[in-house]
A and B are shown apart, each in its own frame.
Chain A
């Protein structure tokens, strides 16, 4: 992709404790999280994070609980102050902003959706949706009009005068999303926005987000601890472990080329046929006139192709991106891609897969 970098994090460190600056020296010397806690009594929140977030993409930051995801996302709008490093937004270092400019950034440049919704319980759904505009000092009519528009867009028309506690979790989070969209900011931060929801509702919300994104092209930074969710949403995937980035890149690429046993364990668990796409497994086109059993789309999942082929592993398909033929995919490659390339030796799942 050739999109511009919208937000950039450079050499970011965050250490929790009484004297982070002195503990920083140890962290820069490469001390592990557990050691730093044991020997120096400080918690290593984030260590040497470098991420470029591109305009109009969904960047998913994934990791297990306690890996520092929430800490990281709160650095983008400086809800947490970094111990060291830079946070650049459109090339401007957030650390240099005055209190006033920082507030402006939060009011206009970034909006946030929270795991526990964090709606104002004493305000109606409509008032909640218009929060950002009211904070900026715009008129109530304007805030209500915009709020109504986005509530409608997320499927909550008719609930404007309800209070948050009268809505289900899924609906409350729709209000949360409408509230973020009403602010009309270019960047949206979503901290485990769907983790508190039931699985079916979660899928609905993911679809809603993708649908909105198709239209709005926001720069979305999405936190998740769920790989399926991450793979479904991500244009760019960052995997975090103990406050460090272990691998980042295009999700399909990470899936096919895990760089670390930790990630192999992670990815060995998912339904690869549903996640991998034809474009990641196909071969470049050598001879467009060669015989093929039919055509499939560049962005189809392997599952689509398998159902197409009726399970016949000898077939070869032509891959088209729009109307242009771009490659071929043979079922043998496809089946091979379904097996994790190198199951980790010591991971439990690795042993199961190898057996």
Chain B
């Protein structure tokens, strides 16, 4: 056991800092810090800068374009990205479908898709959930029927984040209805421009558009776009969800939120004194900060176990549960810190073409949108109730 950074680690930290200080575009940083949804253009511009530096996919094996960082270096990078309000690469490509492709895909798929993910040529979205299949994902109904070298896909996906930005969607589809649910699912990569696909927006409680419904009507998908074997899709899907659950903890981002809260609390007043001297406020913030520290060291301990070749079962679910609860507590406290200015709220698009800034202090612009959106953090990626079910079954044997 050892927590100290080596000289090389410290030099690496300086390199990351230097890179972020000089290369992160100010507009991208600003949106990320405020907690606003990324724009496609801004996120793609930033990812291309990351890729040029060779830092697009720290978790990928080196042979596919990974960075070869040690777990300590990954930790340092995540910290620095968080502090600098640097967005990490959009998860759907790099963290979700990428690892599925290099783990289960064939050579052609690897050769074609992986470089395109690294260079942000394709924006990916995740076609898992359906109206009748959320928590019970395995009951999904979207059908793919073989027709020569194609599958013909019919059905509907819902809650598809950023489908309106997307060039590609990875989809779970039913290829066999006669067997146990989990054994009749396949994993397809589908070009969003294929005829028969319709994307319909869903406006969220944040009044913004990030969610969509995606409809498939006789959509022809070449069989070569299937990952691995037919009817083995559930295995790949679960592998992906495991990765999703760790990346969802977002410790670096939460640490930055703690810092923001401390800055804001100096500017806000409570009882005629700075809010930063209000014991109720300090108490709440401190509790979150300590919980966050516990989460951080739990994550590190798990990463260290993985690096030492230990098999984890459902432990990452813990990171998802604790991480998302902390994110919600932080945005709650952020909004609370604004006092009365926690009330004004308008969707971003209503400011388009107006040359006035949102009302209230500048730092109050963003957190309410994020606060509203993050109610979903305990729902998406497998709800926290489902995560608790998994831990109780897989880890505790109950």
Are chains A and B native binding partners rather than an unrelated pairing?
A: no
